[in-house]
Amino acid sequence: MPGGLPAQSLKAEAAPSEVKGVREVLEESGPEIDWDSLTFSFTETDRMYIAYCKQGEEWQPGSMQDFQNLSISPAAGVINYGQGLFEGMKAQHAADGSIVLFRPQDNARRSREGARRLGMPPVPEKMFLDAIKKTVSENSRWVPPMGKGALYVRPLIFGSGAILGVAPAPEYTFLVYVSPVGPYFKGGITPTSLRVSDEFHRAAPGGSGGVKAIGNYAPGMVPSQMAKKEGYSEIIYLDAVNHRYIEEVGAANFFCVKDRVISTPELTGTILPGVTRSSVMELAKSKGYEVIEEKVDVDYALEADECFCVGTAAVISSIGRIEHGTKVVEYCGGDVGPVALELYETLTSIQQRRSPDEFGWTMSVE
């Protein structure tokens, strides 16, 4: 393993993929990639980054290798006790011809905070950024043309060492892989229909809702599927104490606008501090909006002029309708809200360097 620590418990092995992935199909059909057929789903790419760290020691230098399956101990901390976290960001082709990342330092910081909460060694910022840039650069043929989507970057940090009792694993893995994704909403933003859940919660005070812990996501899958079966795109989670304040929309942050004042749930530890959330707040302030982080009562949101949710995947998604119990509210006649649209245009044009990056949010990958 060049430059890396030969780990006992986890090593990558070349394993033939059973399913004929887009990669094989593309290789057979030549170098042309049909960008228009990309959806927001996983496509295998060429290369990935991997590094190891023993509990109580420093991270060893990582290395790039071909994308391949992992070999892992059945007693690994991550598959027994969910000791792991993920990150997510996009690399895109920008108007100046470069490939750019959006605020990757914020993902690096969030991963360090999450690692500490989960008893894992934090990955230093420089190592995190180097890993991301290398992975994007060695998969650059997979970055879609501007406007056709993005290369989704997925860093993982997890307990790969074997441990039987419930305790931090003796060894950790930091891995970065990428997948090209099409635009979240093909054919422009379409307003979504959401349902407020009175039955399920995403996070509780003192828990792990504020970090991207892998264990936070499986419990939301069934509630989300149930809502989808009934025609909703996602569910809105309320706080677990008062069952009254909006927390998040699936895995995205919530905003509402009333009389030109923009409100978003304050970060109390149960809400994931989104990079898109903080960018939207800063942008809105720079445009002269009043932006307030506060407890957002579901009844206040139901009387708002406009609601939207934000996250890396969709950037900004306008909410057309919310159902809560017997109440159903439609916003902006079911059309895309004007504030969501304005912020979406501004944010995506900064991300793609179609307008000046006055905040210094983009970072080039050579």
Q: By the criterion CB under 6 A, which residues form the site for ligand PLP? A: 88, 212, 248, 251-253, 272, 274-277, 311-312
Closer of 52 and 255 to ligand PLP (Cβ): 255
Which of residues 52 and 184 has its CB atom nearest to ligand PLP in the complex?
184
Which residue's CB is nearer to ligand PLP, number 233 or number 253? 253
Pull the structure tokens for residue 29.
């059909």
Kindly state the smallest distance separating residue 66's Cβ from ligand PLP, in Å. Answer: 28
Minimum gap (Å) between residue 348 Cβ and ligand PLP: 13
**Residue nearest to ligand PLP according to CB distances in the complex:** 274
Q: Give the C-alpha distances (Å, rounded to integers) separating 288 from 90, 274, 281, 283, 285.
A: 28, 21, 11, 9, 5
Q: Nearest distance from residue 262's CB to ligand PLP, in Å?
A: 16
Which helix (H) or strand (E) segment holds residue 310: the answer is strand 306-311
Vertex 316: Cα angle to 116 and 105 (nearest 5): 35
Q: Exactly one of 90, 212, 229, 287 is catalytic; name it.
A: 212
- Residue 133 bears catalytic tag: no
Q: Which is nearer to ligand PLP, 78 or 272 (CB)?
A: 272
Check if the beta carbon of residue 322 is closer than 8 Å to that of residue 328.
Answer: yes
- Tell which residue, 295, 279, 240, 257, has the closest CA to residue 362: 279
State the nearest-atom distance from the C-beta of 158 to ligand PLP, in Å: 16
The answer to whether the CB of 302 falls within 8 A of the CB of 324 is yes
Tracing tokens 């927001």 back to the chain, one arrives at 40
As a whole number of angstroms, the distance between CA 144 and CA 141 comes to 8
* Residue 354: both structure tokens together: 């179609």
What are the residue numbers of the active site?
212
